[in-house]
Amino acid sequence: MKNIIKWLEENADLKIIDEPLDVELEIPHIAYIEVKQDNSRPLLFTNPINKAKNIEYDMPVLMNVFASKETTQKIFDKAPDDIASQIEKLLKMKPPKDFMGKIDMMGQLFSLKNVFPKRLNFKGESQDVIIPKDEVDLDKLPIIKTWSEDGGAFITMGQVYTTSLDGTMQNLGMYRLQQYDKTHLGMHWQIHKDASSFFDQYKEANVKMPVSIAIGGDPLYIWCGQAPLPYGIFELLLYGLIRGKNAQLVKSITNNIYIPRDVDIVIEGFVDVNKMEIEGPFGDHTGYYTLKEPYPVMEVETITMKKKPSFVATVVGKPPLEDKYMGWATERIFKPLLQTTTPELIDYYMPENGVFHNLILAKMKTRYKGHAKQFMHAFWGIGQMSFVKHAIFVNEDAPSLEDDISITKYILNRLTPKNILISEGIVDALDHSSPETLVGGKLGIDATSTPIEDGIKEPLDDKELLNKAQKLDTQIIGLKQYMIDTKNPICVISVDKTTSQQKVIKNLHSLQNHIKVLVVVDSSSNFIDNAYMLVWRVVNNIDASRDITLTPFIAVDATNKNKLDNYDREWPKDTLCDKSTLDRLQEKGLIDIDEEFINRFGLL
């Protein structure tokens, strides 16, 4: 994989676009549309430009490297489940009982020699070109701006290499990096991340923190950057385990951080621990803008690169996107590590329209009463799983977790208020729904029981139920019922919100014979017949401790919150495409979308 572009041409049907296109909106909009297609492909833009800055770049932009499950599996060169089995075997390794057992163990232990990164004492291909500090100019890199209201251009697939203050630990993370000017980048490492922990060490010592940012190279480096390993474990150990060979590292030119020899570009510099700048807004993987906040700033000392580098980038926003396939691999590979804490776990699934940390489905072997609730607490206490807001557990007899229709029916046929646990804990820094940052409500559903007997007492069709509801509250605009053949049909109503929706829900209590589960959304930003995006909206927009009530029916307020709800934070906007950019790309024949596609994925 030394020549990733050639590899993608031969293995992933790389699509090459030669037309000059702007790194602001045009290129990322094409990538955003492409990865939502059923047969999405990696994209290479050979002539990127920046119209606003009047720049023609001399390197191509590569996007959607992880374009599909098939491409992702080829990048790993093996099925993620096979890698998981390898990890499971290592975790369960026991002293051998006989000579052949010793031989087998020796083979396993010998293979581990490839896990540890190897430090080389010479320069790498990534250092063929060295740009000194007085010539550093980030404008020479085709850094993209995806969304109209982004605070600027962002490096979106940077491999951020940092070390602890004492040099004993090294970390690889994938954080967005905002370009402020020709020599400064904003470091968006959130408070829960290892790089932020390292930053605290440097700040306490009041010394500058070295950082090296790599772009490109083997795509497995990129995946390793988002792998949820425990604190202090260097992510490139996974590279060695998966590739079966050591990651080869070379020393940065201006600091002591080691980076892969074969990446395309390296940006080296130091973070002044006493300097913070406003970073953002940024259209993030939640499908919402992350708001402006102060973050550390990196001053660039040098940029090194291959003789003919490529600039790798990704687009984040509303699902499905490239992170769907990266997350799928992570989910599969890390299952054995989860099972060390929850051994009765059979499988789990994090749907991409739950944006991963907002929703998890888990299948388990239930052994005793309350077992599922024990699992909920265990999940909420494990590393990055602690950020999961909504966890649903099913028994071993449940259908495939990825069979959306069947698993939803299974859950709804077992749903009761007494099997719902509402708790509180830490939430992702990107979560916007909780009353305060970093802490919010958690929802757990125990659907491991046998099916319940009671369903709706008096079912009504959508038209009749809407008529009754609108007589009770004039804010109600539309209504659609889902899963009406289950014990707990879901009634979705859209509203033109003028009061707290808790008042609307109370006004509908008299319809308890006709409703079992009620979900309320804003009419202005939702199509109530689009189930995929409704799931995305609901799990993004609710804080369980505030927005869920359990009597006389289960009700969920998934509207945007404001002062009517005693919500004092700023509610972020959706990431929406720029219509004029889409129209222009459509006229040029660079995208082919219709109104149905636009509505299905909430593009506008």
pLDDT of 187-236, one tens digit each? 998 877 888 899 999 999 999 999 999 999 999 999 999 988 888 889 99
Whether 250 contacts 185, CB under 8 Å: no
pLDDT, mean of residues 419-429: 92
Tokens of 507: 């006004």
Q: Which residues pair with 294 in a beta bridge?
A: 278
CA atoms within 13 A on the CB side of 178: 24
- Domain 4-313 = CATH 3.40.50.300: no
Q: Where are the domains of the chain?
A: 4-313, 343-447, 462-565
- Residue-level pLDDT at 92: 64
Spatial strand order of the sheet with 61-63 comes to 15-17, 43-45, 61-63, 311-313
At residue 379's C-alpha, the angle toward residues 395 and 195, to 5°, is 150
Whether 98 is a known active-site residue: answer: no
**pLDDT higher than threshold 70 for residue 118:** yes
Whether 426 contacts 439, CB under 8 Å: yes
Per-residue pLDDT tens digits for 444-484? 999 999 999 999 999 999 999 999 999 999 999 999 999 99
Residue of 276, 310, 269, 309 whose CA lies nearest to 136: 269
Mean pLDDT of the chain: 93
Rg (CA), the chain: 25
Given 284, 323, 446, 578, the catalytic residue? 284
Query: Could you tell me the pLDDT band of residue 347, with boundaries at 50, 70 and 90?
Result: very high
Q: Do domains 343-447 and 462-565 have the same CATH topology?
A: yes
Q: Which CATH number fits domain 343-447: 3.40.1670.10, 3.20.20.450, 3.40.190.10, 3.40.50.300?
A: 3.40.1670.10
pLDDT, mean of residues 133-150: 97
Contacts of 324 (CB under 8 A, 6+ apart): 352
**Which amino acid is residue 293, in one-letter code?**
E
Per-residue pLDDT tens digits for 363-413? 999 999 999 999 899 889 887 888 999 999 999 999 999 999 999 999 999
Q: Give the pTM.
A: 0.93
- Residue-level pLDDT at 25: 98
Domain 462-565: give its CATH superfamily.
UbiD C-terminal domain-like (3.40.1670.10)
**Which range among 88-97, 240-249, 278-287, 548-557 shows the weakest confidence by mean pLDDT?**
88-97
Residue of 544, 172, 231 whose CA lies nearest to 388: 544
